[in-house]
């Protein structure tokens, strides 16, 4: 096998039949990583540890004792804690910081014999839509290296797209799984808020943040979700809802006549690339032809999503990032004569421009004179957006939209225009405001041969439905 298969079932078949070993598999991925260093995907590469672990798992396979994820080589976004490894969050503030514990998701991966190959690049503290905000430099899109891979989980998406690993864990606050998946031509799942433990995920906006999964197909994502989902005593926001056998259910099909699908008119208005609009509408027509009940619906508060999202997440970021002060851990400025200077200089030097922009915005909307005018009002609008989805899901089972308004843009094209950058989240951020699950599935390519995705949203905890509908849309 000169190149690893792009799905776990084929890899497992090769392992059990003796056509390849985990050690050989890791070596192939390491070669792919080293051959594509110019993409700037990895911040930390666990070369020796991955090979050592691969040898141990090969022995388990021989003994018939291997876990569900034996043969799955996985990259991890560098905002998730891996014991004794750097946890940089793509920031100068934590560029030399090493963590002393594993995130819950990492513990669960290791318990099922996954191999973690390294930590991947991301926008600083997960703030960005292009992966250009990293202290370690921008990640390039494997589809077209002159373009961004999306953000903030751009390194995760690029690592899967470039065949540097089979699967990747990322995180998202307003679309940072789905948008890069769309830009890089792969599948990205954002689960229901609370479905996956956030213990060990560095917080950006705690009531929005979710760990998510990148992969090439729904079955691989289903197996990984089955392993990492579920209640965690160390995360008070994790859900007690039982975890289904996603890996079995994802292979089942729907009776189309029993499934109602909606598409919101608000997602197909001005600003949407015409190639994406046509591609998504073609998929909607495909579902209609298969016998699904398809109707137009309305999500009337969609026009307030971006304002509401950026007010609330910036406020939470302002609070969460106050811990990075140069006193307890991380970067500390050496150009200070007083304690106050040290605080100011550390945060001025340690944070990048986008992070500082959001901290300042968040501090502003939380200040005494503006709290009611901005933060409190945004919370009320969030409730209205949640109501929109609750009302819609009384009429339909799934809602379909474009994932992004455009395909991957050129590196540097929008970095000086924050508003234009923020509008990349226009179709995804509402999902995080509502706390529902959503998936981005490859949909087609535009006139420049760049990939784009179709987004499917569902009721809370219906990840099974999202994984099953993948089969209907990939044709």
Structure tokens, 379: 């919370």
Residues 45-60: tens digit of each pLDDT:
999 999 999 999 999 9
Q: Domain containing 193 — which CATH number?
A: 3.90.1300.10
Confidence category of residue 391, pLDDT binned at 50, 70, 90: very high
Structure-model confidence comparison of residues 317 and 270, the more confident one: 317
Told to judge if 153 belongs to the known catalytic residues of this protein, a careful annotator would answer no
Catalytic residue, from 77, 92, 140, 468: name it.
77
pLDDT recorded at residue 1: 43
Lowest mean pLDDT among 225-229, 249-253, 269-273: 249-253
pLDDT of residue 251: 86
Pairwise CA distance, residues 122 & 290, whole Å: 39
DSSP string, 86-135: B--TTSGGGTT-B-SS--HHHHHHHHTT-EEEEEE--SGGG--SSS---T
Backbone angles phi, psi at 252, to 5 degrees: -80, 165
pLDDT tens digits, residue range 423-468?
Answer: 899 999 999 999 999 999 999 999 999 999 999 999 999 999 999 9
Structure tokens at 330: 């991380």
Q: Is 152 a catalytic residue?
A: yes
Residue 401 has pLDDT above 80, yes or no: yes
Percentage of the chain with pLDDT > 70? 99
Q: Which of 159, 176, 210, 318 is catalytic?
A: 176
Q: Which residue has the tokens 């798992």?
A: 57
The 8-class DSSP code of residue 404 comes to -
Look at the chain and report how many structural domains it folds into: 1
- In a domain, residue 271? The reply is no
pLDDT digits (tens, 9 = 90+) for 290-303: 999 999 999 999 99
For residue 343, the tally of other CB atoms under 10 A from its CB is 16
pLDDT tens digits for range 88-135: 999 999 999 999 999 999 999 999 999 999 999 999 999 999 999 999
Tell me: the pLDDT tens digits for 406-432? 999 999 999 989 888 998 999 999 999
Q: Which strands sit side by side in the sheet containing 260-264, from one edge to the other?
A: 42-45, 115-120, 73-77, 167-172, 210-215, 187-190, 438-445, 451-458, 398-402, 260-264, 293-297
Q: Is residue 459 part of a domain?
A: no
- Structural domain harbouring 131: 8-249
| 157 lies in some domain | yes
pLDDT at position 241, please? 97
Backbone angles phi, psi at 440, to 5 degrees: -105, 125
Average pLDDT, the chain: 96
Inform me whether the pLDDT recorded for 2 exceeds 60. Answer: no
Asked whether residue 145 is domain-assigned, the answer is yes
| Closest among 397, 380, 148, 389 to 262, alpha carbons compared | 397
Burial profile 448-473: b = 16 or more Cβ within 10 angstroms, e = fewer = eebbbbbbbbbbbbbbbbbbbbbbbb
Cα separation values, 391 from 125, 175, 209, 259, 314, Å: 34, 22, 24, 17, 28
Determine, yes or no, domain membership for 100: yes
Cβ contacts of 376 within 8 Å, gap of 6 or more:
none
50 is a domain residue: yes
Whether 322 is in a domain gets the answer: no
DSSP character for 85? S
- How far is 156 from 77, CA to CA, in rounded Å? 6
In a domain, 263, yes or no: no
- pLDDT over 90 (residue 281): yes
Residues 6+ away with beta carbon under 8 Å from 158:
39, 41, 120, 139, 140, 141, 142, 149, 164, 180, 184
Q: What is the reported pLDDT for 239?
A: 97
pLDDT above 60: residue 220:
yes
* 3 state SS of 201: strand
Note the pLDDT of residue 252.
86
The predicted-structure confidence for 119-176, as pLDDT tens digits, reads as follows: 999 999 999 999 999 999 999 999 999 999 999 999 999 999 999 999 999 999 999 9
Identify the pLDDT of residue 108: 98
Specify the DSSP class assigned to residue 80.
B
Q: Which of 130, 152, 250, 314 is catalytic?
A: 152
Higher per-residue confidence, 336 vs 312: 312
- Residue 44's nearest CA partner among 5, 7, 81, 6 is 81
* Chain CA centroid to CA 97, Å: 23
Using CA atoms, how far apart are residues 321 and 328, in angstroms rounded to an integer?
13
């Amino acid at each position: 096998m000169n190149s690893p298969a792009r799905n776990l079932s084929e890899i497992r078949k090769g392992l059990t039949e003796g056509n390849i070993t985990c050690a050989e598999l890791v070596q192939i991925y390491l070669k792919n990583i080293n051959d594509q260093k110019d993409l700037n995907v990895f911040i930390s590469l666990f070369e020796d540890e991955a090979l050592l672990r691969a040898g141990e798992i090969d022995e388990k396979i021989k003994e018939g004792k291997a876990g569900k994820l034996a043969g799955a080589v996985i990259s991890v976004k560098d905002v998730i804690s891996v014991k004794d490894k750097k946890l940089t969050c793509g920031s100068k503030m934590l560029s030399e910081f090493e963590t002393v514990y594993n995130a819950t998701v990492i513990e669960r991966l290791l318990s099922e014999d996954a191999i973690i190959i390294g930590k991947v690049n991301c926008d600083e503290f997960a703030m960005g839509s292009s992966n250009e905000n990293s202290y370690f430099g921008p990640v390039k899109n494997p589809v077209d290296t002159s373009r961004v891979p999306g953000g903030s989980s751009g390194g995760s998406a690029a690592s899967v797209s470039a065949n540097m690993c089979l699967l990747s864990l990322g995180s998202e606050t307003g679309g940072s799984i789905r948008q890069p998946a769309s830009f890089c031509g792969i599948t990205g799942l954002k689960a229901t808020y609370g479905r996956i433990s956030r213990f060990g995920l560095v917080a950006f906006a705690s009531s929005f943040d979710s760990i998510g999964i990148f992969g090439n197909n729904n079955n691989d994502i289903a197996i990984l979700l089955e392993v990492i989902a579920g209640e965690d005593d160390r995360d008070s926001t994790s859900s007690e809802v039982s975890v289904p056998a996603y890996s079995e259910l994802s292979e089942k099909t729907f009776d189309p006549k029993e499934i109602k699908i909606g598409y919101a008119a608000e997602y197909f208005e001005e600003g949407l690339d015409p190639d994406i609009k046509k591609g998504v509408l073609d998929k909607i027509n495909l579902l209609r032809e298969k016998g699904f009940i398809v109707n137009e619906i309305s999500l009337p508060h969609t026009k307030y999503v971006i304002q509401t999202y950026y007010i609330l997440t910036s406020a939470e970021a302002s609070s969460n990032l106050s811990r990075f002060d140069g006193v307890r851990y991380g970067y500390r400025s050496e150009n200070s004569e007083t304690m106050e200077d040290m605080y100011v200089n550390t945060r001025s030097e340690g944070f990048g421009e986008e992070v500082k922009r959001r901290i300042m915005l968040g501090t502003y909307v939380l200040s005494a004179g503006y709290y009611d005018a901005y933060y409190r009002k945004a919370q009320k609008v969030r409730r209205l957006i949640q109501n929109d989805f609750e009302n819609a899901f009384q009429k339909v089972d799934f809602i379909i939209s474009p994932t992004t308004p455009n395909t991957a843009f050129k590196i540097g094209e929008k970095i000086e225009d924050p508003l234009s950058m923020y509008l990349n989240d226009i179709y995804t951020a509402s999902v995080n405001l509502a706390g529902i699950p959503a998936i981005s599935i490859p949909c087609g390519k535009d006139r420049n041969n760049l990939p784009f995705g179709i987004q499917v949203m569902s009721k809370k905890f219906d990840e099974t439905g999202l994984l099953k509908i993948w089969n209907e849309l990939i044709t």
